[in-house]
Amino acid sequence: MTPRYPDPLESFVHPARAAPEPWRLALGCLLCTVIYVIGLNLYLVLVTGLPGAPSILAVTRAQTPGAALWLLGSFAAMALGPWVAAPLLHARPPVTLFGHTGREVRDFATAAAAVGGVQVLSVLVWSLFNDAVPGVGFGLWLTFLPLSVAVLALQAGAEEILFRGYLLQQLAARFRSPLVWAVLPSLLFGLLHYDPAMGDSAWQIVLATLIFGLIAADLTAATGSLAAAWGMHFANNATALLLLATEGTVPGLALYRTPYVASEAGGLIVWDVVVLLIGWGLARRALLR
């Protein structure tokens, strides 16, 4: 099977070759970190200071629709760093972080449909063996749905801009090996999801997230833009946060919740990875047809 474009990875990486020096990337990573930390704290202070707004603790627990929306909205701070670093340190417009193929909408929709479809089927199979706990009432869920979709797209897009956009492009501009431009951002992506509160599941979650990063990098390299990876990411999170959420994650927007917390998920994480890989395979086949 051959890629749809002559060299989609090269077309995606080319703008980053304007200023690919490692010191620029190191400084860019520092800049992204500083902007994210400052932006996140300012966001939380401003949001929780609004009349009727939840406390910072309530936002981080994300047990209600409002708190969950505020929490997911905080990911805007993550996208801001690369948006500043690209022109300031690498002599390229921020829009180049996305790549351009002319088929972004189709790639996003194709990946989202493939991954989302498989994951919905997975939830149905799960429901045959487990009793879901009711979450948000259906009427309230529908009311929040437009905002929920918007903030989930923002959250998924912010992570893709940083890890599969900025980091992947700048590393690939300097190093040819996917062991560098695909594995390193994915490893960082996984490690940043480490949470000791997850108990025995903590490192399983890191590994699952690392695998997610690798297949997102693959879709990006194969198609020449962030669209497919963004679509996959969006569908994955929409299923996990809007349809069936695991207690201990971000359950405030979900129709149903699991009867167990994330730290007790155990072997189900392996099942989630298998389902994700099936969705990725279907998406890749459709995208490169």
- How high does pLDDT run on average in the chain? 93
pLDDT at 159: 98
Q: How far apart are CA 166 and CA 33, in angstroms?
A: 13
Distances (CA, A) of 211 to 31, 168, 274: 26, 15, 10
Residue 33 has pLDDT above 50, yes or no: yes
Q: How far apart are CA 48 and CA 55, in angstroms?
A: 6
| Mean pLDDT within 133-145 | 96
Q: How far apart are CA 90 and CA 29, in angstroms?
A: 12
Q: 3-class SS at 257?
A: strand
DSSP state of 231: H
List, in order, residues 6 or more apart from 216 with CB less than 8 Å away.
Answer: 160, 163, 164, 186, 229, 232, 233
| Mean pLDDT within 105-119 | 98
150-167 pLDDT, tens per residue? 999 999 999 999 999 999
pLDDT classification of 5: cutoffs 50, 70, 90: very low
Contact 75, 236 (CB under 8 A): no
| Mean pLDDT within 19-34 | 97
- What residue type is 285 in one-letter code? R
Residue 2 has pLDDT above 50, yes or no: no
pLDDT at 52: 67
Residue 187 has pLDDT above 70, yes or no: yes
Which range is most confident: 98-102, 225-229, 266-270? 225-229
Give the Cβ contact number of residue 43 at 10 Å.
17
Which one is predicted more confidently, 143 or 265? Answer: 143
In sequence order, the β-bridge partners of residue 257 are: 133, 245
pLDDT at 60: 79
pLDDT classification of 46: cutoffs 50, 70, 90: confident
Can you give 156-174 as a three-state secondary structure string? HHHHHHHHHHHHHHHHHHH
| Mean pLDDT within 240-244 | 96
Q: How far apart are CA 274 and CA 289, in angstroms?
A: 23
pLDDT at 3: 47
Residue 53 has pLDDT above 70, yes or no: no
| Mean pLDDT within 45-70 | 82
Lowest mean pLDDT among 50-54, 74-78, 120-124, 130-134: 50-54
Distance of CA 141 to the CA centre of its chain: 22
